[in-house]
Amino acid sequence: MTPAWILDIFAAIMLVVAGISACRLLVTRPWAGQMPDADIDVAHILMGVAMAGMLATGLHTLPNSVWVVVFAVVTAWFAWRVAAEARSAGGAGALGAGHHVPHLIHGAAMIYMFVAVTGAAGSAAGAGMSDMGGMSGSMGTLRVPTIGFLFVLLMMGWAVLDLDQLSAAIWHSQPGERAPGISLPAGLRHRLAVAAGGGATLATAGTAPALPAAALAAPGVAADPVTDSVGAAESVAAASEPGTEVVADPAARFLTDERVVIGSRIAMSVTMALMLVLMI
Amino acid sequence: MVSDSPAVAGSRLLSAGHSATARQAVMPDARRRLQLVLAAIWLLDGVLQYQSFMFGRGFSQMLASVAPGNPAVIADPINWAAKIVGEHPVPTNAAFATIQLLIGLGIACRRTIRPALAASIGWAVAVWWFGEGLGGILNGGASPVNGAPGAVIIYALLAVLLWPVAADEESRQPAFVAARPVGATAARVLWLVLWSSLAYFAVTAANRTAQGLHDMVAGMAGGEPGWLGALNRGAAAVLAHDGLAASIVLAILLGVVAVGVFLPLPLSRAAVGLAIVLALLIWVVGQDFGTILAGGATDPNSGLLLAVLAAAYWPASAAARRSPDSTEVRA
């Protein structure tokens, strides 16, 4: 059997991901202003807790049936977001550029895992999947494993794509290491500059954050919930122009660092793939 | 300057962070895409290595099972490695799984791609010997259908052929992706050696018997999902009692693939296309996706790797070679 301590490590990683998302929600207070991607953080909290419950021996969360309903809602929500994204981006061909697709896949995979599991976990109607003994004991298996395998391939694909995009951008953001042929949008460049602590003037903690008028007035920032994030990114990019200033709380900077945001998603993809493989 | 509330400012930065995942304008070029496929396969290997039975006696027994039939100089180290794994299954297997995960993540990360590819070469060669018994090429059991010459050695070959080259080399557009690091001639020779060896293995004594291929394919059905088992049984029925003819046809096709990359553009494309079709056919029907769906697999087997390798040999058109896309990202 897979040792419990290994599964506990992955469970701990999932709880860290959920905790980071929770902190991000607290720091950015979406209920007090615009924060179009709060849904992603909510989904990460739910998935992180649910996956930790599936992996860890002593962690009991919600009954399977409740999780199925929860992730059905999450998946439906991201399906709507993806559809809106596709419409605004000019069709299904643009889906790969959208940032809600992986969350849709994650949500669907969670439903599949809770619905398709059989054996120890599945036979205990209404029991949490943590009842499978942290997978290391009486481990459940998945019905229709072909679907599980397809999800594994998707998870692996998104994980490496995420890491590639993140590392390309970070690499690109550092002077003197520019790879030939790289062309990044100004917004992405600036976001990475902010993440790296350069390219913008940062005030000390506790200083009132400020953005230039041009940034706040940037079109699309609050108009469209789908393109909002890109619009906001570009508005932040505008703040990196000479003579402007971007101020951020250190905690917010850490929580919104791309390495943290995308790293969380990579960790979730890899852990979810691991769980699927263990249950195939 | 206009002041903003902490919540709004924070939310804007958060949006920026989340939207960084939007893949706009950072398009990997063909070689980078193949590197990412290789990374994903290493990641898959890593999570497969965490499966329950790997932490028991099953893994060491699997290692030991590839030793028989090999020369002592090859078999003895395999038995030694199997003994160590058998005595310490948890730490050794946890280390193996983690190494493979790290190799996959390392290849996916542009900063670490060179050390990760180098590590993948070393690791693949070690696993080819200690874990696959050199793919069975010395014990007479090798067949292109069952994974010869060993899936993991193709990882090493891919790592060499997808190696990032210096920036000045990037300006020269090669005939195909695999030609970038070693040159077109050397890459074609490597292709010739690999695919002609597959053609040879297809008609070795064990594989050209009347029921050889039938038994091999039919034996895959156990434990697989219904549709895949049915596919195995259907293919086995077609091959029943015609093992010799099927082996010869397969060897001829593999031979055509082997020499195809030396032919003019339209024919070389046809040959590489045939290689991809054959590789995927073997992967699905003959290897059952590496038996991942039946549980107990340690890798996706050779069919998928052969298809990825063939993609690295897909000939670029003359127009594409004259006008490289400057917007693509290379690593």
pLDDT digits 0-9 by tens, B190-228 = 999 999 999 999 999 888 888 989 999 999 998 899 999
Which has more confidence, B212 or B321? Answer: B212
**Set of chain A residues whose Cβ sits within 8 Å of the Cβ of B331:** 164, 168, 179
pLDDT over 70 (residue A36): no
Task: Tell me, yes or no, whether A278 lies in a domain.
Answer: no
**Cα–Cα distance for residue pair A241/A261, rounded to 1 Å:** 24
Domain co-membership, A99 together with A198: no
Classify residue B294 as left (phi > 0), alpha (psi -120 to 50) or beta.
alpha
pLDDT over 50 (residue A41): yes
Which has more confidence, B143 or B140? Answer: B143
What single DSSP character describes residue B290?
Answer: G
**Set of chain B residues whose Cβ sits within 8 Å of the Cβ of A181:** 29, 170, 324-330
For residue B140, the model assigns a pLDDT of: 80
Lowest mean pLDDT: which of A202-216, B111-125, B144-158, B269-283?
Answer: A202-216
Domain co-membership, A16 together with A118: yes
Domain co-membership, A117 together with A176: no
Chain A: residue whose CA lies nearest to B25: A184
pLDDT over 80 (residue A245): no
How many folded domains does chain B comprise? Answer: 1
pLDDT (mean) for A94-109: 82
DSSP A74-133: HHHHHHHHHHHHHHHHTSGGGGGG-SSHHHHHHHHHHHHHHHHEETHHHHSTT--GGGGT
**Cα–Cα distance for residue pair A280/B50, rounded to 1 Å:** 12
pLDDT band at B82 (very low <50, low <70, confident <90, very high): very high
DSSP A24-51: HHHHH-GGGS--TTHHHHHHHHHHHHHH
Domain carrying residue B84: 28-164+176-317
Domain co-membership, A20 together with A79: yes
**Set of chain A residues whose Cβ sits within 8 Å of the Cβ of B327:** 181, 183
Please judge whether B17 and A191 are an interchain contact, meaning their C-beta atoms are less than 8 angstroms apart.
yes
How does strand A117-118 pair with strand A141-142? antiparallel
Q: What angle do CA B164, B301, B90 make, to 5 degrees?
A: 90
Q: How far is B134 from chain A (nearest CA, A)?
A: 27
Task: Tell me, yes or no, whether B328 lies in a domain.
Answer: no
Task: Tell me, yes or no, whether B187 lies in a domain.
Answer: yes
**Cα–Cα distance for residue pair A32/A49, rounded to 1 Å:** 25
Please judge whether B17 and A169 are an interchain contact, meaning their C-beta atoms are less than 8 angstroms apart.
no
Task: Tell me, yes or no, whether A269 lies in a domain.
Answer: no
Task: Tell me, yes or no, whether A271 lies in a domain.
Answer: no
pLDDT band at A58 (very low <50, low <70, confident <90, very high): confident
Please judge whether A249 and B6 are an interchain contact, meaning their C-beta atoms are less than 8 angstroms apart.
yes
DSSP B55-122: GSHHHHHHHHTT-TTS-HHHHHHHHHHHHHHHHSHHHHHHHHHHHHHHHHHHHHSGGGHHHHHHHHHH
pLDDT band at B171 (very low <50, low <70, confident <90, very high): low
For residue A84, the model assigns a pLDDT of: 87
**Cα–Cα distance for residue pair A230/A188, rounded to 1 Å:** 9
For residue A183, the model assigns a pLDDT of: 35
pLDDT band at A111 (very low <50, low <70, confident <90, very high): very high
Task: Tell me, yes or no, whether B3 lies in a domain.
Answer: no
Domain co-membership, A16 together with A44: yes
Tokens for A60?
């009991």
pLDDT band at B331 (very low <50, low <70, confident <90, very high): low
Task: Tell me, yes or no, whether A18 lies in a domain.
Answer: yes
Q: Does A85 touch chain B (CB under 8 A)?
A: no
pLDDT (mean) for B17-26: 47
**Cα–Cα distance for residue pair B160/B156, rounded to 1 Å:** 6
Domain co-membership, A29 together with A124: yes
Task: Tell me, yes or no, whether A275 lies in a domain.
Answer: no
First to last CA, chain A: 14
Q: How far is B105 from chain A (nearest CA, A)?
A: 7
Chain A: residue whose CA lies nearest to B112: A167
Q: How far is A108 from chain B (nearest CA, A)?
A: 19
Work out the percent of chain B whose per-residue pLDDT is above 70: 86
**Cα–Cα distance for residue pair A180/B298, rounded to 1 Å:** 37
Domain co-membership, A142 together with A174: no
Q: Does A2 touch chain B (CB under 8 A)?
A: yes
Q: How many CB atoms lie within 10 A of CB A125?
A: 8
Lowest mean pLDDT: which of A127-131, A165-169, B125-129?
Answer: A127-131
Domain co-membership, A39 together with A153: yes
Domain co-membership, A189 together with A149: no
Lowest mean pLDDT: which of A187-201, B162-176, B204-218?
Answer: A187-201
Task: Tell me, yes or no, whether B329 lies in a domain.
Answer: no
Q: Does A139 touch chain B (CB under 8 A)?
A: yes
**Set of chain A residues whose Cβ sits within 8 Å of the Cβ of B28:** 164, 168
Give residue A38's identity as a one-letter amino acid code.
A
Among residues A125, A141, A163, which one ends one of the domains?
A163
Lowest mean pLDDT: which of A95-99, B30-34, B79-83, B221-225?
Answer: A95-99
pLDDT (mean) for B108-112: 94
**Cα–Cα distance for residue pair B313/B311, rounded to 1 Å:** 5
> Chain B window 284-313: which residues touch A at a Cβ cutoff of 8 Å?
289, 292-293, 295
**Set of chain A residues whose Cβ sits within 8 Å of the Cβ of B48:** 277
Give the predicted TM-score (pTM) of the model: 0.81
As to burial, measured by CB atoms within 10 angstroms (0-12 exposed, 13-18 middle, 19+ buried), residue B56 is middle
Q: How many CB atoms lie within 10 A of CB A90?
A: 9
The residue of B5, B18, B45 whose CB has the most chain A CBs within 10 angstroms, and thus the best one to mutate to test that interface, is B18
**ipTM for the assembly:** 0.86
Q: Which of B3, B24, B6 is nearest to B14 (CA)?
A: B6
Domain co-membership, A158 together with A175: no
Best-predicted range by mean pLDDT among A82-91, A107-116, A254-263, B11-20? A107-116
Task: Tell me, yes or no, whether A279 lies in a domain.
Answer: no
Q: How far is B193 from chain A (nearest CA, A)?
A: 30
Chain A: residue whose CA lies nearest to B57: A1
> Chain B window 229-288: which residues touch A at a Cβ cutoff of 8 Å?
none
Domain co-membership, A200 together with A141: no
As to burial, measured by CB atoms within 10 angstroms (0-12 exposed, 13-18 middle, 19+ buried), residue A9 is middle
Task: Tell me, yes or no, whether B1 lies in a domain.
Answer: no
Q: How many CB atoms lie within 10 A of CB B143?
A: 23
Lowest mean pLDDT: which of B75-89, B108-122, B136-150?
Answer: B136-150
Domain carrying residue A142: 4-163
**Cα–Cα distance for residue pair B314/B268, rounded to 1 Å:** 8
For residue A92, the model assigns a pLDDT of: 63
How many folded domains does chain A comprise? Answer: 2
For residue A1, the model assigns a pLDDT of: 76
Domain co-membership, A129 together with A175: no
Task: Tell me, yes or no, whether B22 lies in a domain.
Answer: no
**Set of chain A residues whose Cβ sits within 8 Å of the Cβ of B2:** 210-213, 216
User: Per-residue pLDDT tens for B148-167?
Assistant: 899 999 999 999 999 998 76
Task: Tell me, yes or no, whether A176 lies in a domain.
Answer: yes
Work out the percent of chain B whose per-residue pLDDT is above 90: 67
